[in-house]
Amino acid sequence: MKLIDRTASQLATLLQDGEVTRSEVVEAFLDRIDAVDESVAAFLHVTADRARRLARAADKAAEGGATPGGVPFALKDNMCTRGIPTTSGSRILEGYRPPYSATVASRLEDAGFILLGKTNLDEFAMGSSTENSGYFPTANPWDLRRVPGGSSGGSAAAVAAFEVPFALGSDTGGSIRQPASFCGVVGLKPTYGLVSRYGLVAFASSLDQIGPITRDVTDAAMVLNLIAGPDPLDSTSARVRAPDYTQALVPDVDGLVAGLPKELFGEGIDPEVKARVSEAAGVLGDLGVQVEECSLPHATYALDMYYIIAPAEASSNLARYDGTRYGFRYGVGESPAEGPARPEPGGEDPPPGLAAEAARPGPADLLEMYVETRRRGFGPEVKRRIMLGTYVLSAGYYDAYYLRAQKARTLLRQDFERAFSRYDFLISPTCPTVAFPLGEKVDDPLQMYLADLCTIPASLAGLPALSLPCGFSQGLPVGLQLMGPPFSEELLLRVGFAYEQRTDHHTKRPPLLGVKRR
Amino acid sequence: MTALTREEVRHIAHLARLAFEPDELDRFTTQLNAILQHVNRLGEVDTALASPTASVSAGRTTPLREDEPWEGLTREEALDSAPAADRGLFKVPRIVD
């Protein structure tokens, strides 16, 4: 068995036992990135030299006794990494090197895990296909002509293509689960507040949550162990003691009761997707889970709530990109639109221009600086969300849109509370369809938004949700979504583990055949 | 709710410190109206008795960390990424005459 075929947990054991060195593991994955990322385009920056250096140092330290960690990983490029480019998929942050690291990045590196690079995403995590990246689209390893999903498309594709054993994604309305589903890997969106958001580039602060994208449920539990828990640097991080999630990995679900919310099996859901999810529910039934149809009446309106609340929060969060403190400024260096097609390979040198010291004769006044910086630095989807958000928060429309959406959000939360008084967890498809062709929805924002139909309800209610591979349709992976009450990650992992023990969908490998993308 | 006009979209762009070319303005007006038409379905929901949810962690107590000083960014680190800096300050176009 090749090193890249091992899961993160298996690699951790091999490293712990001294069966392999960190350098060997790092080289194996860097070789794989070299071989396939030309086709998949999952990475915005590969931190090869730094990873090699860290691996060598850790190998040396390990000679004097076992040191933990050493497993390579990737981060979605909206998580700050000190001194390493962090673009959030936007030209407005081209060349930006944060002066601090996100808590999740520090926790993984402090545990000895080795960053291999930063993965592509829809600009500022706004999108469902990674086509909104300001740099280039990522391809789905199962069919390179199709999207990997989004916005954590780079992280999901990198894991699916065996370029890295695990990656972190962020999820605002489905951005971990939807790409995990499209790429046939495991994605967990934890309860809002379980994982610190410190150093995550903010999109919609009441919804954003970081979580693992892995090849199996065991790895999801292992990674969650490393990143969960309170953080004094994030006031929304929950003051709960995170348990050892690997203890939840027992294949015993006998006697649990699960609900199938009929609103998430209705209009717009592909019949084959429905069939795969029903089969998965059947497997859980065989394992002793009592499965019943249920209802979340307000889930029908979840998409509408989301496309008011998320843009409202985004319009406020993205006001900071004004060309003053960091990132691109109109009149300084190159305009993003004229910049290089993609960041330097390896990404360890800043692209020319943007780091220029002093302003050339640029904007005539502050307003022109703001407007010209933002119109050149942001892509169309980001502008659309800022416009929507600005409108729904503007005088005269606030009550009709934003306040109404927030009230409806309460009603949706109450639907879930009622459901969880009877059911231990809920089952639905992760996505209405399998991965769609590149370019198919890019000009129709509303069609793109519908890709998040099934993932948005748990986001609005702040609930944990796990996406698992549950079979194929037209040769493309289908995802099963399990949703639970707040802080029920152990239960979801247990159910996922039990399901995985009974099925082999998670062991299937993408062909990686087809056209080269760059 | 009535549809947004081109002029309203131009005004929202100004509020958001954005600007659009004429053809972009047409496209955004059409797209924003399509999205708003969809979300207007929320009018069907009876929200009269519901209180708004601003944050799902609102029910939990707001945590406070110990009020102890700690090392933040140095001035140099904070200015390091600035497009323009001068004498330890962020530099912007003249604001007052």
Task: Please list, in sequence order, all residues whose beta carbon lies within 8 angstroms of the beta carbon of residue A444, skipping any fewer than 6 positions away.
Answer: none
User: Mean of the pLDDT values across residues B16-43?
Assistant: 96
- pLDDT band at residue A334 under the 50/70/90 scheme: low
* Per-residue pLDDT at A506 exceeds 70: yes
Residues of B whose CB is below 8 A from A314? none
For chain A, count helices (H), then strands (E).
15, 11
User: Mean of the pLDDT values across residues A418-433?
Assistant: 98
* Per-residue pLDDT at A345 exceeds 60: no
Residue of B nearest to A391 (CA): B12
Question: A492 - beta bridge partners?
Answer: none
pLDDT digits (tens, 9 = 90+) for A115-169: 999 999 999 999 999 999 999 999 999 999 999 999 999 999 999 999 999 999 9
- pLDDT band at residue A512 under the 50/70/90 scheme: confident
pLDDT of the residue at A35: 94
3-state secondary structure of A441: coil
- Tell me if B78 and A99 make a contact (CB, 8 A cut-off): yes
Q: What is chain B's percent helix, strand, coil content, to nearest 5?
A: 40, 5, 55
How many other C-beta atoms can be found within 10 angstroms of the C-beta atom of residue A265?
Answer: 18
Residue of B nearest to A308 (CA): B39
Q: What is the DSSP letter of A402?
A: I
pLDDT of the residue at B63: 72
Catalytic residues of A: 76, 151, 175
Closest C-alpha to A419, from A297, A299, A303, A294: A294
- pLDDT band at residue B2 under the 50/70/90 scheme: confident
Task: Please list, in sequence order, all residues whose beta carbon lies within 8 angstroms of the beta carbon of residue A145, skipping any fewer than 6 positions away.
Answer: A139, A437, A438, A514, A515
- Tell me if A304 and B77 make a contact (CB, 8 A cut-off): no
- Tell me if A410 and B77 make a contact (CB, 8 A cut-off): no
- Tokens representing A320? 């900071």
Q: What ipTM was predicted for this assembly? A: 0.95
Residue of B nearest to A240 (CA): B60
Identity of the residue in A193, A359, A407 whose CB atom sits nearest the CB atom of B52: A407
pLDDT of the residue at A1: 83
- pLDDT band at residue B70 under the 50/70/90 scheme: confident
> CA–CA separation, A129 vs A515, rounded Å?
18
3-state secondary structure of A420: helix
Task: Please list, in sequence order, all residues whose beta carbon lies within 8 angstroms of the beta carbon of residue A146, skipping any fewer than 6 positions away.
Answer: A139, A140, A182, A435, A436, A437, A438, A476
Residues of B whose CB is below 8 A from A374? 16-18
> Is residue B52 less than 8 Å (CB to CB) from chain A?
yes
* Per-residue pLDDT at A200 exceeds 70: yes
Average pLDDT, chain A: 93
Question: A115 - beta bridge partners?
Answer: A73
H/E run at residue A451: none
- Tokens representing A319? 């006001």
* Per-residue pLDDT at A352 exceeds 50: no
Identity of the residue in B17, B53, B78 whose CB atom sits nearest the CB atom of A410: B53
pLDDT of the residue at A337: 54
- pLDDT band at residue A349 under the 50/70/90 scheme: very low
Residue of B nearest to A447 (CA): B35
pLDDT digits (tens, 9 = 90+) for A65-103: 666 789 999 999 999 999 999 999 999 999 999 999 999
pLDDT of the residue at A503: 96
User: Mean of the pLDDT values across residues A53-68?
Assistant: 84
Residues of B whose CB is below 8 A from A237? 63
Range of weakest confidence among A252-266, A466-480, A502-516: A502-516
Residues of A whose CB is below 8 A from B70? none
- The nearest CA of chain A is from the CA of B9 a distance in Å of 8
Please return the burial class of A350, using the count of CB atoms within 10 Å of its CB with bins 0-12, 13-18 and 19+: middle
pLDDT of the residue at B55: 83
pLDDT of the residue at A336: 65
pLDDT of the residue at A239: 86
Strands A476-483, A465-473: parallel, antiparallel or unpaired by DSSP? antiparallel
CA B64 to chain centre: 26
Which amino acid appears at position A274 of this protein?
A: K
- The nearest CA of chain B is from the CA of A446 a distance in Å of 6
Domains assigned to chain A: 3-305+409-506 (3.90.1300.10)
Cα distances from B77 to residues A77, A83, A99, A332, B21, in angstroms, run: 21, 11, 6, 20, 37
- The nearest CA of chain A is from the CA of B56 a distance in Å of 6
In degrees to the nearest 10, what's the CA dihedral of A216, A41, A210, A24?
60
> Is residue A517 less than 8 Å (CB to CB) from chain B?
no
pLDDT of the residue at B65: 77
> CA–CA separation, A141 vs A157, rounded Å?
6
CATH code linked to domain B6-43: 1.10.20
> Is residue B2 less than 8 Å (CB to CB) from chain A?
no
* Per-residue pLDDT at A350 exceeds 60: no
- The nearest CA of chain A is from the CA of B61 a distance in Å of 9
* Per-residue pLDDT at A104 exceeds 70: yes
* Per-residue pLDDT at A341 exceeds 60: no
